Amino acid sequence: MKKQRTLSFLFVALLALVVFAACNTNNNDNAAVDVPDAGTSAQDNQAQTNDIGEGALDTVQFLNLALGEEPRSIDASLTSEAVGGTILTNIREPLTRIIPLYPESGYMFEPAGARSWESNADGTVWTFHLNNNYWEDGVPVTAHDYVFSMRRTVAPETGAPLSFMLAPLLHFDEVNAGELPLESLGVRAIDDMTLEISLTSPVPFFMNLTTDRVMMPQREDIIALHGERYGSGGEFTIANGPFRIESWNQQSSIVLVRNEHYWDSDNVRLDTVTFHIMTDATTRHHAFEAGEIDIVAVTTRQWRDHFYGMSGVIPTVGVPTQTITYAFFNTDDELFQNENIRRAFMIAIDRVELNEVAFDGFRIPTYGWIVPSISVGEYNFREHAGDPIRELQANHPDPRELLIQGMQELGLGDDPSTLNVTFNLAGTDEWFRTLGEYLQQIYSVNLGVNMQINFAEWGIFFDNVQNGNFQIGFMGWGAFFNEPFDVLNIFMSETNAVHTGWANAEFDELINRAMVELDEWERLQLYIQAERILIYDEAAVMPLATTTLNSFRRDFVRGVRPSTFGDAVLKYHYTSGRP
Amino acid sequence: MKLVVYILKRLGLMLISLFMIVTITFFLMRSIPGDPLSHMARSLPEQTRANFMARYGLDQPLFNQYLIYLRNLAQGDLGESLAFPGRSVTETIGRTSPVSAQGGGIALAIGLVIGTVLGIIAALFRNRLPDYIVMIIAILGVTVPVFVIAPLLQLVFAVRLGWLPTFGWGTPRHMVMPVMVMAFLPIATYARYMKSSMLDTLGQDYILTAQSKGVSETNVILKHALRNSLLPAITILSGSIVGIFTGAFVVESIFSIPGIGTHFVTSIHNNDYTMIMGTTVFFAVLFVVMQFVVDFIYVLVDPRIKLMHETH
């Protein structure tokens, strides 16, 4: 059982790659089945309360943190997981950094690699004026480093797993397919300090990309020097961010030290940050209690209650992530082709009770597809869009009637107990057993359906899903960035990334319009209509809960900024009063 | 001359075994659902996927990939990890296996000595208190899972008492808890084997002969019984040695030890084909070589066994 946990990965902050199959195992909330547990710990480095308070700084500034997995690589073109992103965001300077507006909702972009930026009138050409930043060897960071980096990520021979993140760039498709030369890609250096990015069409949320690893600069000469080994170890990379890598002992620890050449080095207070690579959640908890690490993420009620009782410890709990836990229907299935049957299954679950029984009370019951942490500019989506599932529940107090209505439309009679329904779960451990038994019981009581549960390992589950060999599946999906488009476009008929087989022309039309609508309020309305079709009218997918970040830190750790889509950067952290 | 022929014959058989292991593993592994991009848990654009597959030669027909793998293997090249870009499989095994060998080797040595002694004690005091105590230890050792013992030790020695670090590797203090945990199973295993083997030996006629000749009890045990009783223990030794590397996953994960155990397990979950093959080849070579060595040790310990059948 331990193995599965370590296998799951968690998404951490910021634009790190995400998507989890939503299954959290006990020690690993937010985790995904398939990729394991990095999550928990990768989050360890970002607690979320806002206490940029004052206090006498300790003379020696250091932090000990846990990293839940060995990073696969810190080559910005080749990593795709959260832990690699955690290291990259601390050693590289993206064009901008995203910071949450706390306590208000929403986010803003602050200057980082770029000191200012502007776009043309229709938002297709963006110009970035770079800061006077330097690599750790003293070489200036230039616009050419950004151009080189993006071209390398898109080049077909690189095989970058996240290359598609750059899809908005002009000629991306042709360059990525090798049909046009790299120079055709929509990015160029006007001069050493000015970078220009051209897009195929306006992308309202383009700025979100500027914080991502795919837009971090890379040094051509360093890559040439290290060849294949580039990014595979501490000595095979180069930093231009707040920190540089002092040492990377594989599977043990990564030690970061302050980068004196960093443009904003005066505001970086930590001298040393040690990431201990710890794949076991219980070990992380023990190490936190023993004082060996300063921040720890928790994913079970038992550990949360335990740390609540400790003195000198500050909790940050219940911070919503951008990952939704959901079930999804195969709309090509002979039963679930009917929207009333899907709606019945969707509303038959009491999300508050589900959260208590199956998720340890650790998630946020969610009544729409867009999670509460996502906004359109300054408008929080959920606040403006209402709760479609709750509405549907209010309009249909007895879900069984909806089910029978759907059955009659299909000519299946009116006895739900005659239906053959199988619910697919991507895991076999106790966490999934509990969830499966609960679902079985709730559908029996509320719908009168005798449901089967199929437990499988992630690989087998995902294979079945991709081949349409399922009726209902259960997963998690994390947004890359703070824009509903990012999690709605996956339901467009041409994408079908959730494998529902669902297609709706009106939905496609709304998303296509939103994609180029620069006015935030108008865009919000389009998204709201689209989500309503997806959930209220058609129930192609069944949102259940939003995962949360829960962590505890020693009270001497200060300068921690709130973060959901925020950056896992340790630039502003410091300690005051470390014993 | 006969010995040379024998050794050559064994080497030939070992190569055939390895070839079969490599072949079976290669095709079995490729039948696992998923691919090296599955960990992203998302349906990637076709072009992104195609570019990735092409980079690692996974777009070739499977049989071609197999031939390419065999060719590289023959040249001693285990390839580059698919999950850890830029890391060679050979280097990864070279870096992690000594760590596992160090911790696991010490634990096995301790387990072997303590287990053997306990087994002898249990046999000599059969059905008396020492026997019961040893057997309780043995049952606990094989039934209590590592992931129960290890956190318990952490809680006591690191969290409560603060004597030892919770995790990490490099100093003797780091090694105390992992070695204790890893020695537990061999202690239990060898105690049980030694006890039954010792009892068996003590019932042999030649022991009775020795005793009736008036040989002291100590000498009977040390000179006559012990050596013969060691044979079954030697039989399972090769498995134990390989187990140092394959069985340490949980302990290494709990104590954050940079050993090879994690690669053995996670490479399969990651569909990291080159790493799966690399660890498999490593363990297979280790295992067949150990068996070869054990066969020689037999000869040293047991004069009844000959390397070759003498033709009469």
More confident residue, A37 or A84: A84
CB A40 within 8 A of CB A110: no
Query: Is A251–B258 a contact, with Cβ atoms under 8 angstroms apart?
Result: yes
| pLDDT higher than threshold 70 for residue A263 | yes
Query: Nearest-CA distance from A54 to chain B in Å?
Result: 31
Burial of A440 (0-12, 13-18, 19+ CB in 10 A): middle
Amino acid letter, residue B35: D
**Mean of per-residue pLDDT scores for chain A:** 86
CB contact under 8 A, A160 and B167: no
Q: Compute the nearest-CA separation of A8 from chain B (Å).
A: 9
What is the Cα–Cα distance from A77 to B278, expressed in whole angstroms?
25
* Chain A CA closest to residue B84: A72
Q: How far apart are the first and last CA of chain A?
A: 37
| Confidence band of A497 (pLDDT split at 50, 70, 90) | confident
Question: The tokens of B312 are what?
Answer: 């009469």
Taking CA–CA distances from A164, the nearest residue in chain B reads B48
Helical ranges in chain B per DSSP H: 2-30, 46-55, 62-74, 89-124, 129-143, 146-153, 172-202, 205-212, 217-219, 226-246, 249-254, 261-269, 273-301
**Closest alpha carbon to A297 in A317, A312, A313:** A317
Task: Assess whether pLDDT exceeds 80 at residue A27.
Answer: no
Using CB atoms and an 8 Å cut-off, which of residues 93-132 of chain B contact chain A? 95-96
pLDDT band at A17, cuts 50/70/90? very low
DSSP string, A484-509: HHHHHGGGSTTT-TT------HHHHH
Helix axes of B226-246 and B261-269: crossing angle, nearest 10 degrees: 50
Interface probe with B: pick from A251, A288, A302, A474, most Cβ of B within 10 Å = A251
| Partners of residue A292 in chain B, C-beta under 8 Å | 165-167
Question: What does the pLDDT profile of chain B (312 residues) look like in tens digits?
Answer: 777 888 888 889 999 999 999 999 999 999 888 888 877 777 788 888 899 999 889 999 999 999 999 999 999 899 999 999 999 999 999 999 999 999 999 999 999 999 999 998 998 888 899 999 999 988 888 888 888 999 999 999 999 999 999 999 989 999 999 999 999 888 998 998 889 888 888 888 888 888 888 888 888 887 778 877 888 777 788 788 888 887 788 999 999 999 998 888 889 888 899 999 999 999 999 888 888 888 877 777 777 776 655 544
Three-state SS for A241? Answer: coil
DSSP SS3 for A175: helix
Neighbours of A455 (CB within 10 A): 17
Average pLDDT value for residue range A543-569: 84
Residue A225 has pLDDT above 80, yes or no: yes
Distance from CA of A399 to the nearest CA of B (A): 32
Q: 10 Å Cβ neighbour count for A74? A: 29
Residue of B nearest to A228 (CA): B86
Contact of A24 with A31, CB cutoff 8 Å: yes
Amino acid of residue A450: N
> Nearest residue of A to residue B87 by CA position?
A232
Q: Which residues of B touch A228 (CB under 8 A)?
A: 80, 86
Q: How far B188 CA lies from chain A's nearest CA (Å)?
A: 23
The pLDDT of residue B307? 60
Give the pLDDT mean for A135-164.
Answer: 94
- What is the nearest CA distance from B257 to chain A, expressed in angstroms? 7
Interface test with A, best of B253, B260, B272, B274 (most A CBs within 10 A): B253
Q: Is the pLDDT of residue A233 over 80?
A: yes
B80 touches chain A (CB under 8 A): yes
Listed ranges A41-45, A366-370, A569-573, B55-59; the one with the highest mean pLDDT: A366-370
Nearest to B178 by CA among B198, B164, B194, B162: B164
What chain A residue is nearest to B81 in terms of C-alpha separation?
Answer: A72
Judged by CB atoms closer than 8 Å, whether chains meet at B250 and A2 is answered as: yes
Distance from CA of B52 to the nearest CA of A (A): 4
Which of A20, A78, A160 is facing B41, going by the closest CB pair? A20
Test mutation, A27, A73, A283, chain B, max B CBs within 10 A: A283
Place of tokens 């080559």: A75
**pLDDT reported for residue A44:** 36
Residue A5 has pLDDT above 60, yes or no: no
Which residue did the predictor score with more confidence, B304 or A424?
A424
Chain B residues whose beta carbon lies within 8 Å of the beta carbon of residue A158: 51, 55
Looking at CA atoms only, how far is residue A2 from chain B in angstroms? 7
Please name every residue paired with A125 in a beta bridge, in sequence order, or none if there are none: A198
What's the pLDDT score for residue A330? 94
Q: Which residues of A touch B56 (CB under 8 A)?
A: 159
Instruction: Please give the average per-residue pLDDT across A2-21, as a whole number.
Output: 30
Q: What is the β-pairing status of strands A541-554 and A313-329?
A: antiparallel
- Alpha-carbon distance B56 to B132, whole Å? 58
Cβ <8 Å between A462 and B38:
yes
Lowest-confidence pick of A24-38, A253-267, B176-190: A24-38
Q: Which residues of A touch B45 (CB under 8 A)?
A: 164, 167
CB-based contact B165 A292, cutoff 8 Å: yes
Residue contact B258–A160, C-beta within 8 A: no
The residue behind tokens 């990651």 is B270
pLDDT on residue A437: 94
Tens-place pLDDT, residues A350-386: 999 999 999 989 899 999 999 998 988 888 899 999 9
Chain A CB within 8 Å of residue B90 CB: no
Residue in B closest to A286 by C-alpha:
B159
Q: Rounded to a whole number, what is the distance in Å from the CA of A162 to chain B's nearest CA?
A: 8
pLDDT at A167 over 50: yes
Q: How far is A52 from chain B (nearest CA, A)?
A: 30
Average pLDDT over residues A500-514: 93
Residues within 8 A of A (CB atoms), B 160-219 only: 162, 165-170
pLDDT of A505 > 90? The answer is yes
The pLDDT assigned to A521 comes to: 94
Give the span between the Cα atoms of A13 and A11, in whole angstroms: 6
Reported as a pLDDT band with limits 50, 70 and 90, residue A262 is: very high
Interface of B with A in 30-59 (CB under 8 A): 32-34, 37-45, 47-48, 51-56
Average pLDDT of the segment spanning A285-313: 92
Tens-digit pLDDT profile for residues A98-119 = 887 766 666 788 999 999 999 9
Tell me what pLDDT residue A181 has. Answer: 95
pLDDT, mean of residues A502-521: 91
* Residue carrying the six token digits 């897009």: A199
pLDDT score of A43 = 36
Minimum mean pLDDT range among A90-94, A218-222, B40-44: B40-44
Q: Is the pLDDT confidence value at A525 over 70? A: yes
Which residue of chain A comes nearest to B272, CA vs CA? Answer: A72
pLDDT range class, residue A7, cuts 50, 70, 90 = very low
Burial of residue A357, with CB atoms counted within 10 A of its CB: 0-12 exposed, 13-18 middle, 19 or more buried: middle
Instruction: Measure in Å the smallest separation between the Cα of B98 and chain A Cα atoms.
Output: 14
Determine which of B90, B152, B166, B267 to mutate to test the interface with A (most A C-beta atoms within 10 Å): B166
- Give Dmax (Cα) for chain B: 85
Q: Which of A78, A286, A497 lies nearest to residue B154, judging by beta carbons?
A: A286
**Binary contact (B166, A290; C-beta < 8 A):** yes
Residue B303 C-alpha, separation from nearest chain A C-alpha, in angstroms: 45
Across the interface, whether the CB atoms of A164 and B40 are under 8 A apart is answered no
Nearest residue of chain A to residue B45 (CA atoms): A164
Mutate which: B40, B58, B92, vs A, most A CBs within 10 A: B40
Structure confidence at residue A49 as a pLDDT band (50, 70, 90): very low
| DSSP run (H or E) holding A65 | strand A62-67
Q: Which amino acid is at B214?
A: G
